[in-house]
Amino acid sequence: MNKIANECKKILLEESINTDSEIDFDVNGEVHSMTFEYIIDTFMQASEESQLVFLAALQKAVAVDNMGVDKFFEGMGQLLLMTHLSNKFEA
């Protein structure tokens, strides 16, 4: 695991937020669940610049409050889900 991913997970730990927390997405009646850890790990596969943007955005979400963190991971999860679904339709 890279340094930026570790920093993201450390931030959650310091905020008493479990990385195994899940967000559920309903897509046409089919529920897709993603853990915070999965979302972090997936975004850490992007470029280092994108990883740093993710970290900065997470830090700002934490500065707001726990609701900000939930909204942050909800948005990041939606982005991953849309990317996954659009890749399925291209095939």
Span 73-82, pLDDT tens digits: 999 999 998 8
Residue 22 lies in a domain: no
**Dist CA 25 CA 13 (whole Å):** 24
Residue 28 lies in a domain: no
Residue 25 lies in a domain: no
Inform me whether the pLDDT recorded for 58 exceeds 90.
Answer: yes
Residue 54 lies in a domain: yes
Residue 29 lies in a domain: no
Contacts of residue 63, Cβ cutoff 8 Å, sequence gap at least 6? none
Count of structural domains, the chain? 1
pLDDT band at 66 (very low <50, low <70, confident <90, very high): low
The predicted model scores a pTM of 0.87
Structure token pair of residue 88: 């399925």
pLDDT band at 35 (very low <50, low <70, confident <90, very high): very high
